[in-house]
Structure 1
């Protein structure tokens, strides 16, 4: 079979185009640092890359949720610590009450009650901390008819997704925290009334109730401390998992730079060899033909 110049030119053009594609692909892998730049480069590998990227994105969201949860727990702990301190002061007032100073002490207890109410109605980022899901409703309001503080929130928890299939719920039910077995506001009001009435028995009774209130707050704080530890432990686990996932992503997606440079050099040599060989095989006018 006779091979014409036109056939040789067509074959050489095909070889040059293939070498050019290979050369450009190698250059892209070097410049991008990625072995896979499009699905056609490695369909199976691209599927793995997308899965790793989604896992990393999820882990980053879990970390943000954990950070928000830690802030929530820290804020609650700070508030409950302050409330406990105020109640300890009120208990000390009841224990050390001087019959000649009880009106003054009653005023001190009234001030403590106001401070505790403000703390129980604390906000973070515009949301009430102890209102359950009713974060835009002031949880504790004085009701003159009931002559006490009513709770306007609900029993909902503040939930955080902290891992794959892992959810942590923080107790934000203000009624359970401040009006559990004993109502902190009612105890303080009763202590104030007992001091103003100079009623020693009433004062003594409130000391026992105050102890129950403080014990309930301490139990809530212990639970929160455990939740904080779980958040930290889960965050550490997620960090390790993220590092491993990023490593697998890099192994799957990234270019072996040394190998890519060698590959580029091989394609460059093949391209130049094809050009040199073609120049000897056909008329020089082929250059014009190829252009």
Structure 2
């Protein structure tokens, strides 16, 4: 086979073009920090990267959901702490009012007024919201638990149903707390204390004794509800730690799949540059002068 000057020139140009392309690709990897910038570079890496990216996005969404879980549980616990304070103050007022012999009309009026304020506070607590959602209204999050028009607490099944938030694949955490009956019962106690205080009859001692016992019973209910919230908060913390581990693992896999090894890439680029310079040098020797060069 006869090798012509034209064939040598074409081979040299083809090799130079390939060398430029390789250096360009390495430079692009250093600029972007990614192994591939288009699917044609490496379809396998791109497909794996899409899968890892979806996993990272999913974990990030679950972490956002965990934030909402914590908001619901923390707000519920704070609200029930306020209910406990209402009951403690109601117990003090009932104890004072039970001493009917020492109570004046002014004292009874003052207790009735404060009981009225406690009742309004209880109604406000029952309608506690996180964002635009009522946290004590069960699945009826768009409606308040205390209906100001009917002046009563809602007790329907929908107001007792659970609200859950997904925090992992197939894992849901309950964030709602069934307190509709509890609020209704406490509201009834407030009414009774107010009524007993207003009567001032001689047998109020026994009546107030039972009333104080009922208040203690409602305090136990509040503590039980808060204990349940605390248990769910502990589980939420465990899920938060699990999600952090999942996020770290997913990001590590994505990085190993997509990100360049800078040390190796820089070394490859330097090597490619050296080969390219050698190619140019050898090509200059191979490309001997043609007849046209002598004719000039």
1:254 to 1:134, Cα distance in 2 relative to 1, 3 A: same
Q: Please state whether the residue corresponding to 2:40 is helix, strand or coil.
A: helix
1:206 aligns with 2:211: yes
Instruction: Give the equivalent residue in structure 1 for 2:7.
Output: 7
Structure 2 residue 106 is the aligned partner of structure 1 residue 139: no
- Once residues 244 and 153 of structure 2 are traced to their aligned partners in structure 1, the CA distance between those partners, rounded to angstroms, is 44
The match for 1:289 is: none
Q: Which residue of 1 aligns with 2:77?
A: 77
What does residue 288 of structure 1 align with?
A: none
**CA distance 1:176–1:268, shift in 2 (3 Å):** farther
**Unmatched 5+ residue regions in structure 1?**
286-291
Equivalence for 2:122: 116
* Of 244, 247, 269, the match for 1:242: 247
**For residues 133-172 of structure 1, what are the alpha-carbon distances to aligned partners after superposition, in whole Å with 9 as ceiling and x for unaligned?**
222222212576xx85444762233322212221101124
Partner of 1:276: 281
CA contact (8 A) 2:139 2:159 kept: yes
Q: Retained in 1: the 8 A contact 2:164–2:176? A: no
Q: 8 Å contact 1:45–1:252 — kept in the other structure?
A: yes
Unaligned runs of 5+ in 2: 291-296
Alignment of 1:1-291 (within 5 A): 1-97=1-97, 98-99=99-100, 100=103, 101-141=107-147, 148-151=152-155, 154-179=159-184, 183-199=185-201, 200=204, 201-283=206-288
8 Å Cα contact 2:34/2:259 also seen in 1? yes
SS class of match (1:40): coil
Query: Deviation string for 1:193-248 (max 9, x for gaps)?
Result: 12212251433332222222221111111111111111111111211222222222
Cα gap change, 1:142/1:265 in structure 2, threshold over 3 Å: closer, same or farther?
A: closer
| Local SS of the residue matching 2:226 | helix
Deviation by residue 1:47-92 (Cα, 9 ceiling, x = unmatched):
3222222222111111111122112211111111011111111112
Structure 2 length as normaliser, TM-score? 0.85
In structure 2, C-alpha distance between the alignment counterparts of 1:284 and 1:233, rounded to whole Å: 78
Kindly tell me the number of residue pairs found equivalent between the two proteins: 280
Secondary structure of the equivalent of 1:39? coil
CA contact (8 A) 2:153 2:180 kept: no
